[in-house]
Amino acid sequence: MEHTLTAEDIAAGVERLARAIREKNSGHPIALVGIRSRGDEVAERVLTLLSEEDGWELSFGVLDISLYRDDFEHLRENPSIQESDIPFTVDGAHIILVDDVLFTGRTIRAALDALSDYGRPAKVELAVLIDRGHREMPIQPDYVGITLDTRRLDHVLVSLEGTDGVDRIQIVEKEKP
């Protein structure tokens, strides 16, 4: 069985993220750091919405965590290691890590390790387009665009316009063994 969320659902999720970040941080300098791949596109969309507020100091960066992951199987599926681009000082910054899907928490753990190579931020928060549950690590998001009720073995496939040519989220349910 498969369920699909639309481009409108994704846009609404991004708007929820931007609104929540604005309400909590308006006027204070923040840096959005998107996790490759797709977290960076979500972060860019959030940044676009937040940039509408005049005079707010916003920074943007992209973090590639390929070499920090604890599951090297992903390199077979996606063998390209891309560059991180953090064009601001991390030391003392308020950083909001942005990813497309929060599942086990392992990607975020890797992102925190990668980010620490750039310095010591004053604060790190987490914004995710989709929270699907099933954590293996004690990691929770500060900002959530869409909450999905999934089973552990289900697949959540995110496609975004800039990366994949279309905005769509597919939930592919795995049959119980």
Domain spans, the chain: 8-151
Reduced DSSP (H G I as helix, E B as strand, rest coil) percent helix, strand, coil of the chain, to 5: 30, 30, 40
Cis peptide before 37 (omega within 30 of 0): yes
What phi, psi does 115 have (nearest 5°)?
-60, -35
CA angle 69, 74, 79 (to 5 degrees): 110
Amino acid at 74: H
Q: Give per-residue pLDDT as tens, 91-119.
A: 999 999 999 999 999 999 999 999 999 99
Q: Give per-residue pLDDT as tens, 112-159.
A: 999 999 999 999 999 999 999 999 999 999 999 999 999 999 999 999
The structure's pTM equals 0.92
What CATH number matches the domain at 8-151, 3.40.50.300, 3.40.50.2020, 1.10.275.10, 3.30.1200.10? 3.40.50.2020
